[in-house]
Amino acid sequence: MFLGIMILIRILFITCMVFIIGYVFGNFSTKPVLRTTTKITAILVIVLFIASNILFFRFAAWDHHAFNDRAKHGWCIQDTTMHK
């Protein structure tokens, strides 16, 4: 599920970037429909960036707790300089 959500966010992000680049370097600014769509995608880029960071942080924090649990049970090598 996580992989599917991340792929969807990436595809939407790429689509938004195409509209923004088309507005800046292409002729998207001359047509009213494309101009409005580009404004919406500019907002969507910000939302997708925040959403992807939230998802990455959420799953990275979960993995960090799993690593600490493995370290407590001796399933991985611990740094000896931290323990006196």
Token pair of 7, please?
A: 């792929």
**Is residue 82 in some structural domain?**
no
What is the pLDDT, as a whole number, of residue 12? Answer: 87
CA 69 to chain centre: 27
Token pair of 40, please?
A: 């919406």
| Non-local CB neighbours of 11 within 8 Å, separated by 6+ positions | none
What is the pLDDT, as a whole number, of residue 68? Answer: 58
**Is residue 56 in some structural domain?**
yes
**Is residue 12 in some structural domain?**
yes
**Is residue 46 in some structural domain?**
yes
Domain count for the chain:
1
Q: What is the tens place of the pLDDT at every residue in 15-71?
A: 888 988 988 898 888 889 988 988 898 898 998 888 888 877 777 655 555 555 555
What is the pLDDT, as a whole number, of residue 83? Answer: 54
Domain hosting 54: range is: 2-62
**Is residue 18 in some structural domain?**
yes
**Is residue 80 in some structural domain?**
no
Question: Looking up tokens 């740094």, which residue turns up?
Answer: 79
**Is residue 51 in some structural domain?**
yes
Eight-class DSSP state of 28: G
**Is residue 47 in some structural domain?**
yes
d(CA 30, CA 32): 7
pTM over 0.85: no
